[in-house]
């Protein structure tokens, strides 16, 4: 891109950031896919200099790749961060960030409203390797502070949380982290940098499951970590190189395509979801609706401050408990029943028996996941068709 890259607006960076066709791609206007494992060295001394990190350059795709580099530079600029590292999945990004931060100090302090896979990694898997986690109510700032001790490695939160859609005050938690000289890691998957840039509110490191809105079309698993240059370099040459969570060049190419239309999609996801949320809120078979764009959402004012719009995710409690929910899920025709979010298409799921089933009943209750909670990831179809599908599915519920 040109020397004016930093001055361009979001939409322009999303299309051009991190890539100069002449310098980086033999004139190819679209970013090329470098589908290669390794790169020629000029001579033995050049090879030795690259391995010794005395000179920057590509060595092997487990450590870096020119297609990844475009995606990494572009997302880093969009998030307002210095650098980024593309990983094979969102979980790989979270694990790598944790391994890179938790070296001598071994405790994570984490919001209890996080994706079930993240909860399981922190609560069950990392403890086997000596890294433990204290889960806190993210809205209780005293709880965050009380959980910090000399062994704390970093603070972690997700906003909006999956699936309860809690909006956490990033600035307040960042202030607590910085008071103790700790880094705050924020999973920004549901917002994407188009709706919110956590670094502006004081976050130090941002995580994405690129599988979701960044890829946007439900085709590729991947993740990314955005953060300070020294942190990303350390992650790349240590954990990334040693444990092997490298992204696939084809997938980072898909994520580049996704970034190019991200703002358009997030606008439509958000507008559609607000309409569906309002419709559900007025529906007689619905007990409650959680959508950050509704005035009834407990963190609506914070969402307005922290986000450009309110995103495509919503959840609701159906009257008649999970039996009615099961019927609704079985009756939909346009909505897809599957374990993903952030697709162009509308998706539906019952988290308690699927995405969060790794959590015990007690853990689910603590994480705000009730048995009658249905999660919708609203797509970019015509909104009348989405509502029409839900309506016919509600109408068929018996009992």
CA 85 → CA 21, 74, 145, 153, 309, distances in Å?
Answer: 22, 11, 30, 20, 27
Spatial contact of 276 and 386, defined as CB atoms under 8 Å apart: yes
CA 240 → CA 61, 93, 180, distances in Å?
Answer: 11, 9, 27
One residue of 17, 138, 223, 245 binding ligand LCS per CB under 6 A: 223
One residue of 65, 111, 209, 248 binding ligand LCS per CB under 6 A: 209
Site for ligand LCS in 105-144 (CB under 6 A): 115, 117-118
Q: Tokens 């909104």: give the residue.
A: 383
Residue 67 binds ligand LCS, judged by CB under 6 A: no
C-alpha to C-alpha distance for 159 and 138, rounded to whole angstroms:
10
Stretch that binds ligand LCS, among 145-153, 301-309, 312-320, 339-347 (CB under 6 A): 339-347
C-alpha to C-alpha distance for 191 and 28, rounded to whole angstroms:
31
Q: Considering only CA atoms, which of 232, 284, 225, 222 is closest in space to residue 258? A: 222
C-alpha to C-alpha distance for 242 and 87, rounded to whole angstroms:
13
The residue count for binding ligand LCS (CB under 6 A) is 18
One residue of 31, 69, 70, 91 binding ligand LCS per CB under 6 A: 91
Residue 61 binds ligand LCS, judged by CB under 6 A: no
Which residue has the closest beta carbon to ligand LCS?
A: 90
Whole-number minimum distance, CB 302 to ligand LCS, in Å?
Answer: 18
Residue 65 binds ligand LCS, judged by CB under 6 A: no
Say whether 355 sits in a helix, a strand or coil.
Answer: coil
Residue 358 binds ligand LCS, judged by CB under 6 A: no
Sign of CA dihedral 164, 125, 93, 233: positive
Residue 343 binds ligand LCS, judged by CB under 6 A: no
Token pair, residue 128, equals: 């086997």
Nearer to ligand LCS, 67 or 189 (CB): 189
Site for ligand LCS in 278-317 (CB under 6 A): none
Stretch that binds ligand LCS, among 9-17, 60-68, 325-333, 338-346 (CB under 6 A): 338-346
Residue 355 binds ligand LCS, judged by CB under 6 A: yes
C-alpha to C-alpha distance for 318 and 288, rounded to whole angstroms:
7
One residue of 158, 166, 169, 204 binding ligand LCS per CB under 6 A: 158
Chain residues binding ligand LCS by CB under 6 A are 89-91, 115, 117-118, 158, 162, 187, 189, 209, 211, 221, 223, 339-341, 355
């Amino acid at each position: 891109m040109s020397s004016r890259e930093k001055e361009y607006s979001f939409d322009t960076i999303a299309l051009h950031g991190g890539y100069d066709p002449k310098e980086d791609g033999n004139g190819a206007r679209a970013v090329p896919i470098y589908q290669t494992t390794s790169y020629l060295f000029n001579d033995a001394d050049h090879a030795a200099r690259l391995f010794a990190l005395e000179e920057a350059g590509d060595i092997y795709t487990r450590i870096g790749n020119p297609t990844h580099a475009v995606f990494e530079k572009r997302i880093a600029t969009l998030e307002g961060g210095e650098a980024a590292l593309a990983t094979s999945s969102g979980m790989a990004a979270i694990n790598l960030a944790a391994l890179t931060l938790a070296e001598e100090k071994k405790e994570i302090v984490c919001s209890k409203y996080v994706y079930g896979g993240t909860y399981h990694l922190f609560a069950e898997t990392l403890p086997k390797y000596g890294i433990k986690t204290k889960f806190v109510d993210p809205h209780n700032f005293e709880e965050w502070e009380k959980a910090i001790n000399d062994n704390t490695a970093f603070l972690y939160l997700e906003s909006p949380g999956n699936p309860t859609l809690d909006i956490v005050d990033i600035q307040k938690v960042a202030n607590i982290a910085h008071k103790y000289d700790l880094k705050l890691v924020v999973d920004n998957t549901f917002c994407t940098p188009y709706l919110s840039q956590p670094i502006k509110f004081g976050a130090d490191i941002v995580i994405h499951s690129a599988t979701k809105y960044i890829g946007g079309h439900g085709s590729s698993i991947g993740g990314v970590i955005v953060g300070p240059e020294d942190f990303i370099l350390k992650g790349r040459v240590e954990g990334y190189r040693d444990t092997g969570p490298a992204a696939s060049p084809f997938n980072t190419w898909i994520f580049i395509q996704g970034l190019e239309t991200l703002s358009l999609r997030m606008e439509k996801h958000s507008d559609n979801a607000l309409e569906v949320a309002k419709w559900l809120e007025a529906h007689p078979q619905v007990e409650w609706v959680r959508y950050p764009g509704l005035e009834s959402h407990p963190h609506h004012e914070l969402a307005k401050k922290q986000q450009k719009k309110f995103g495509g995710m919503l959840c609701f409690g159906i009257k008649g408990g999970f039996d009615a929910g099961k019927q609704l899920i079985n009756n939909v025709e346009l909505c897809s029943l599957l374990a993903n979010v952030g697709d162009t298409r509308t998706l539906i799921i019952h988290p308690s028996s699927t995405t969060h089933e790794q959590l015990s009943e007690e853990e689910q209750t603590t994480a705000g996941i009730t048995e009658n909670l249905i999660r919708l990831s609203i797509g970019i179809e015509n909104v009348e068709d989405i509502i029409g599908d839900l309506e016919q599915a509600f109408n068929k519920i018996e009992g």
